[in-house]
Structure 1
Amino acid sequence: MGMNNLIIENMDNPQKLERMYRKDPKAFEKSFSLAWEQHPDSQVLSIWYERLYFTEAANTGKYPLLQKGFLIMSILALLAGVCTRIIFHYVEQEVIAPINLVFGIIPFIAAYFVYKNTPKKRIIYSLAALYLSAVFYLNLLPLNDDDSIVLAYLHLPIFLWVLTGLGYTGNDYSKSSSRLAYIKFNLEYCILYASMAVSGMVLAVLTMQLFNFVGLDIEDFYFSNVVLFGAAALAVVAAYLVSMNLKLAKNITPYIAKIFSPLVLVTLLVYLITVLWVGENPFLDRNFLIVFNGILLGVLAVTIFSITESESDDKKRISDYINFALIVLSLIINIVALSAIVFRLSSYGITPNRVAVTGVNILIFANLIWIMFSYMGFLRNKTGPSTIQDAVTKYLPVYGLWAAFVLFTFPIIFN
């Protein structure tokens, strides 16, 4: 019996139709058209028709390469590649700091979001003014390795990341759902960009090897021009693909969150037990304190992404208890790190690095406390999962404000 006959026989059995589709989607879609022609009045088949052909119907009459969004993305990707190459030239001449390379990529991603979301003019003007202010201010700073200058360089990407989020959320920048979507976008973006970057690296190695066979060493030229240009342009292309709801990234991110959360929890527990066993002291060992803060930031990132990928219903899952355990462990690490840095401040004096680390630890401590109490309410059936997500999304601007404070004031205060 053909699949189209099976579809017709099971028109009143949605579960059976879903099982047939999942077993062989291509065969189902091919046979469905015949069943649809015979029974166009069926409501069930009408729903399946929209599910299978909605995207194709929306794009009829336009080739993908001629769509306006694709053309805008292509122009921005080319501009990102060209600008990055020009900036790299001045970096090589030691005229500007290497951190300026981010201005060859991030503003063009933000520009694509602005085109896609068409925010109000005040948002567009604010974005443009803040980006330009960061460019001019950063390049007024002296080219040296002073701690305050290095801290400004380190906080610049965080500041620009929050600005890009403003472009992504557009007029809905105050809504938690829009901020949550931006966090999810970042995880999907990283996965997709990494996948394409690995493919590009393989191509680069093969290309250079082929030229080596004929006695030509193109390594310096290839990396300075082709690889650099491609990496910058690819950043805009990846943003476009993720915003087009590419299934690859969307399907894999929930599994990554579910796999990494328990692994991080186990690793962190083993690490903390080992630290206690060997007697390491973050109060006296500066390098160990730096590692401790690095672990804290990593665990915080994993926890946030796990929360954003959690289900939106009220049902408790094992992943929720794992996330809660991660938050508690993160708080323990945070308290130890904060105590150690306060001890170093009082014992060895004030430096830009110590002030910056203290500020970051205080911000993280407040955020973790908020998330922990939200999770406690959820696990005790007093609140819904939205309160946990609010504790994540509503705090994002605070990190941006702190990054702006360090970027714009530390070089002045500590010079």
Structure 2
Amino acid sequence: MNNPIIEHLSNPHELERMFRRDPEAFKRSFSSAWEQNPDSQVLAAWHERLYFKEGDTAEKASFIQKDFIIMGILAILAGVITRILFQFVEKEAIAPINLVFGVLPFMAIYFVTNNSPRKKIVYTLAISFLLSVIFLNLLPLEQTDSTMLAYIHLPIFLWVVVGLAFTGNDYDRGSKRLAYLKWNGELGILYLSMAICGMLLFGLTMRLFSFVGMHVEDFYFRNVVVFGAAGLSIVAAYLVSKNLKLAKNIVPYIAKIFSPLVLVTQLVYLITVISVGKNPFLDRDFLLSFNGILLGVLAVTIFSITESNSDEKKTFSDYINFALIVLALIIDCVALSAIVFRLSSYGISPNRLAVLGINILIWVNLIWILLPYLRFLQNKTGPSPIQDAVTKYLPLYGLWAAIVTVAFPLIF
């Protein structure tokens, strides 16, 4: 007799509040309300919302099954290829960086099977991976500065190539590039969660075998951990692409929690550095750590921007992001000054040129993000220009990574 849904039938805001406060209680009350008022358009809309089902369930199930099978095949192939590559890495026949070719190509294939991109995109992907693996293995195995730079920058280039597979025919749309950045954050969280479970399983397995006097650590690592780590990446990519709520729900909270923590930590660190008299102009290792901090702050900033709401309302997180960008610019300016000083004092080297190039790229990117962010905080524009500043600049990082990977070993 005292059904709260019937009492607030003409108050949509109160109905929504009731549902969010206790969905299960709302559903119980809704059943009675729907029986008493079957002609209510408001309740009809709520009925579809609460009990919506796809029209063609057979076709939907078939599609999911096909997609799942493709994922399973690619995950097994990724594990097998990675295990084979690991065998050659152990024998020092190839560089360890070749292990990326056991994962990233299959991840790109998974996206291609879902996106159905044009032939020119498929050809671009195939040629990029093929030329990368050929060129990488033409480099000498001895670790020189230029080859190490190639090993470091190749995964960045291939990450952009996988992004092309993800975006497909919409590679020039900012929203798709933004979706790729979000997908990376969700993938990282989900993969880490599953990897922790895998490590617990590894520890438990080793313990159980030790009880019977067997030590299978080496065998288990070679044939299970290596295989599983590669295959798990494809499984995680599949789950994130299927809108797994675990990753999507937790990532925005991580962005909001870690942004202020990173800001405070880096400010304390910089103040400490100044107080103890560390000099990035003279201390090479400290300059490298300074650039590491810069990359970390930039990554957290971009991560926070991609996870921010799409509406035009400013939040506390926006001011934190703006402060992070200013902090990153200060760090970058110091790093740029230090690397220019070292170039003029000690001459050109592949490491100094690579650091100079990435610092210039980051400096331009930060300025590009800072200006629309400032206008956004002044209520002169919406958040779209900020996200455009992030997404439109991504191919330049891939281009620079390709230049360092290919040109530096040839020049130096």
Amino acid of the structure 2 residue aligned with 1:194: L
From 70, 91, 94, give the equivalent of 1:93: 91
Q: Measured at CA, do residues 28 and 284 of structure 1 come closer, stay the same or move farther in structure 2, by a change above 3 Å?
A: same
1:145 matched to 2:158? The reply is no
Q: Which 5+ residue runs of structure 1 have no aligned equivalent?
A: none
Distance 1:189 1:148 in 2: 31
Corresponding residue number in structure 2 for 1:359: 357
Corresponding residue number in structure 2 for 1:44: 42
From 156, 159, 172, give the equivalent of 1:161: 159
Distance 2:280 2:63 in 1: 56
Q: Following TM superposition, by how much is the alpha carbon of 1:42 offset from its aligned partner in structure 2, in angstroms? A: 3.2
CA contact (8 A) 2:361 2:397 kept: yes
Distance 1:140 1:306 in 2: 39
Matches within 5 A, 1:13-24: 13-24=11-22
Q: Following TM superposition, by how much is the alpha carbon of 1:404 offset from its aligned partner in structure 2, in angstroms? A: 0.6
Q: Following TM superposition, by how much is the alpha carbon of 1:232 offset from its aligned partner in structure 2, in angstroms? A: 0.8
Corresponding residue number in structure 2 for 1:411: 409
Matches within 5 A, 1:339-354: 339-354=337-352
Q: Which 5+ residue runs of structure 2 have no aligned equivalent?
A: none
Distance 1:29 1:92 in 2: 59
Distance 1:81 1:107 in 2: 12
CA contact (8 A) 1:65 1:71 kept: no
Q: Measured at CA, do residues 197 and 39 of structure 1 come closer, stay the same or move farther in structure 2, by a change above 3 Å?
A: farther
CA contact (8 A) 1:84 1:232 kept: yes
Distance 1:54 1:166 in 2: 34
What do residues 201-234 of structure 1 show as CA deviations (whole Å, max 9, x unaligned)? 1111111111111111110011111111111111
Q: Measured at CA, do residues 367 and 259 of structure 1 come closer, stay the same or move farther in structure 2, by a change above 3 Å?
A: same
Corresponding residue number in structure 1 for 2:280: 282
Q: Measured at CA, do residues 263 and 353 of structure 1 come closer, stay the same or move farther in structure 2, by a change above 3 Å?
A: same
Q: Measured at CA, do residues 289 and 36 of structure 1 come closer, stay the same or move farther in structure 2, by a change above 3 Å?
A: same
From 205, 222, 227, give the equivalent of 1:207: 205
Corresponding residue number in structure 2 for 1:238: 236
Q: Measured at CA, do residues 59 and 148 of structure 1 come closer, stay the same or move farther in structure 2, by a change above 3 Å?
A: farther
What do residues 147-182 of structure 1 show as CA deviations (whole Å, max 9, x unaligned)? 110100000110111011111111111011111111
Q: Following TM superposition, by how much is the alpha carbon of 1:342 offset from its aligned partner in structure 2, in angstroms? A: 0.8
Q: Following TM superposition, by how much is the alpha carbon of 1:91 offset from its aligned partner in structure 2, in angstroms? A: 0.9
What do residues 280-308 of structure 1 show as CA deviations (whole Å, max 9, x unaligned)? 10000011001100000000000001111
* Structure 1 residue matching 2:253: 3-state secondary structure: helix
* Structure 2 residue matching 1:67: 3-state secondary structure: helix
Distance 1:6 1:60 in 2: 37
CA contact (8 A) 2:4 2:29 kept: no
Amino acid of the structure 2 residue aligned with 1:377: R
Distance 1:81 1:9 in 2: 58
* Structure 1 residue matching 2:324: 3-state secondary structure: helix
Q: Measured at CA, do residues 214 and 28 of structure 1 come closer, stay the same or move farther in structure 2, by a change above 3 Å?
A: farther
Corresponding residue number in structure 2 for 1:254: 252
* Structure 1 residue matching 2:380: 3-state secondary structure: coil
CA contact (8 A) 2:280 2:286 kept: yes
Q: Measured at CA, do residues 65 and 398 of structure 1 come closer, stay the same or move farther in structure 2, by a change above 3 Å?
A: closer
Corresponding residue number in structure 2 for 1:228: 226
Distance 1:132 1:298 in 2: 31
In the superposition, the TM-score normalised over structure 1's length comes to 0.94
Distance 1:51 1:58 in 2: 17
Q: Please report the RMSD computed on the Cα atoms of aligned residues, expressed in angstroms.
A: 1.9
- More displaced 10-residue stretch of structure 1: 254-263 or 330-339: 254-263
Amino acid of the structure 1 residue aligned with 2:227: F
Distance 1:19 1:60 in 2: 35
Distance 2:289 2:28 in 1: 56
Paired positions, count: 412
In the superposition, the TM-score normalised over structure 2's length comes to 0.95
Corresponding residue number in structure 1 for 2:312: 314
Q: Following TM superposition, by how much is the alpha carbon of 1:61 offset from its aligned partner in structure 2, in angstroms? A: 6.6
Corresponding residue number in structure 1 for 2:113: 115
What do residues 300-354 of structure 1 show as CA deviations (whole Å, max 9, x unaligned)? 0000011111122222222111111111111010000011011111111111111
CA contact (8 A) 1:191 1:249 kept: yes
Matches within 5 A, 1:180-191: 180-191=178-189
Amino acid of the structure 2 residue aligned with 1:207: T
* Structure 2 residue matching 1:153: 3-state secondary structure: helix
Query: Identity of paired residues, percent?
Result: 70
Amino acid of the structure 2 residue aligned with 1:224: R
Distance 2:207 2:7 in 1: 59
From 69, 72, 78, give the equivalent of 2:70: 72
* Structure 2 residue matching 1:282: 3-state secondary structure: coil
- More displaced 10-residue stretch of structure 1: 17-26 or 380-389: 17-26
Distance 2:179 2:291 in 1: 27
What do residues 93-134 of structure 1 show as CA deviations (whole Å, max 9, x unaligned)? 111111111110111111111111111111111111101110
